[in-house]
Amino acid sequence: MSDNESAMIAEKTIVRENLDKMYPLIDTHTHFDAPVFDDDRTQQVQQAYAQGIRHLVLVGYLHQYFARMYDTQRSVNYITHLSNTAYNDPDKCHINAHIALGLHPFYIEQHTEDCLVQLEKMVIDRRPLAIGEIGLDTFTDAMKAPDTFAKQVRFFKTQLDIAVTHQLPVMLHIRKAHAEALAILKTHKYNAHKLGGIAHSFSGGEQEAKAFVKLGFKLGVTGQITNPNAKKLHRAIQAAVDSYGIECLVIETDCPDMTPIMCQTSSGYHLALEPTSNDKFDSAHSHNRNVPANLPWVLSSLSELLEVSHAKLAKQLWQNSCDALKVDWAYPV
Ligand SMILES: [Zn+2]
């Protein structure tokens, strides 16, 4: 057996390690401001910290909730502060919450032109970490209607313009519209190689995965990767990594959605994936919601799929997140 083969076998043994060991992680996409967290946000922050989460991004979807996101950011920082005081240890619990502002394509009917004006005003006043989530979504028949889709395209392009003007990365939400989104991104002056950006909760095929990475985006991997039946997703992620290396990935919970399969307690999973109400995050059931503390399961499944150890993958994902968000957060040692 060559040294190389022995090393690979050793690596495979390592990747089957359980989750006993904690690694520093960045949750690149959450809706932790959702009301479903109002009753136990403090405990959730502490549990997330205990699981290694050191940064989380609160991602925008409706203009009316932007203020709530900033309130949540303050409360996460306050929880952090309280925990530090309680334990008298400055390193005991310190999660940094960050904000992305954007108008989500799934809620296009609820957005007005004024929302775009207000968005840009807020970007100027408060300088968020990123613009998002923005993109195209034709999940339902109603969203495929020409007028509705044209409005999605218009809002997508305008928000890409805002990202370019203010030199900010974008968080893309693309569902059942990958070809159309790629066509827009290829001609738009937004340059992900320069500004960064994440194709959040990536759900396309192998060629599409590679196309987004080629444009400079990282692929956001959620708890869906934990589902052994998610063959198409596994193949797409593997294909992107085969061509571009593990540098093309970041991880996220997208909480309260996308609960890892091992954390699900009922058949409510499909409800979370296929929203029927106007606000899917309000309707997520608290007993089956996803939480930031579940992020290590995404690390674990990805590590098994790619046959890379938790430690190596966690460190690379941290760097990838910093690259995608154009920040320089120190890796905790
Ligand atoms: Zn989201």
What's the CA-to-centroid distance between 36 and ligand 1, angstroms? Answer: 15
Question: What percentage of the chain carries pLDDT values higher than 70?
Answer: 84
Residue 137 C-alpha to ligand 1 middle, in angstroms?
A: 12
Cα of 4 vs centre of ligand 1, distance in Å, is: 40
CA of residue 329 to ligand 1 center, whole Å: 22
Instruction: For residue 131, give the 3-state DSSP assignment.
Output: strand
Q: State residue 20's pLDDT score.
A: 73
* Res. 287 pLDDT band, cuts 50 70 90: low
Cα–Cα distance between 333 and 272 in angstroms, integer? 36
Mean pLDDT over all residues of the chain? 89
Measure 254 CA to ligand 1 centroid, in angstroms. 5
What distances in angstroms separate CA 26 from CA 56, 313, 325, one per listed residue?
6, 12, 11
Please tell me the distance between residue 5's alpha carbon and the centre of ligand 1 in angstroms: 40
For 157-182, the pLDDT digits (tens) are: 999 999 999 999 999 999 999 999 99
Residues whose CB is less than 8 angstroms from the CB of residue 142 and which lie 6 or more positions away in sequence, other chains included: 148
* Distance (Å, whole) CA 271 – CA 249: 27
Q: How far is the CA of 281 from the centre of ligand 1 (A)?
A: 9
Please give the distance, rounded to the nearest whole angstrom, from the Cα atom of residue 246 to the centre of ligand 1: 22
pTM for this entry? 0.88
pLDDT at position 126, please? 96
Cα–ligand 1 centroid distance for 13 (angstroms): 34
Which residues 6+ apart lie within 8 Å of 203 measured at CB? Answer: 174, 175, 224, 233
State the pLDDT at residue 17. 54
Give the start-end residues of each E strand in 6-152: 25-30, 53-59, 96-101, 130-137
Q: How far is the CA of 193 from the centre of ligand 1 (A)?
A: 22
29 alpha carbon – ligand 1 mean position (Å): 6
Q: How confident is the model at residue 86 (pLDDT cuts 50, 70, 90)?
A: low
CA of 37 to the centre of ligand 1 (A): 15
Both tokens of 128, joined, read 């968020």
Q: What's the pLDDT at 266?
A: 58
Task: Give the Å distance between the CA of 147 and the centre of ligand 1.
Answer: 24
Check pLDDT > 80 for residue 290.
yes
Q: Is 170 helix (H, G, I), strand (E, B) or coil?
A: strand
pLDDT at 47 over 50: yes
Q: What is the pLDDT of residue 15?
A: 46
In this prediction, residue 272 carries a pLDDT of: 39
- Terminus-to-terminus CA distance in the chain, angstroms? 35
Listed range (4-8, 167-171, 260-264) with the worst mean pLDDT: 4-8
Confidence of residue 265 (pLDDT cuts 50, 70, 90): confident
For residue 88, report the distance from its CA to the centre of ligand 1, in Å: 35
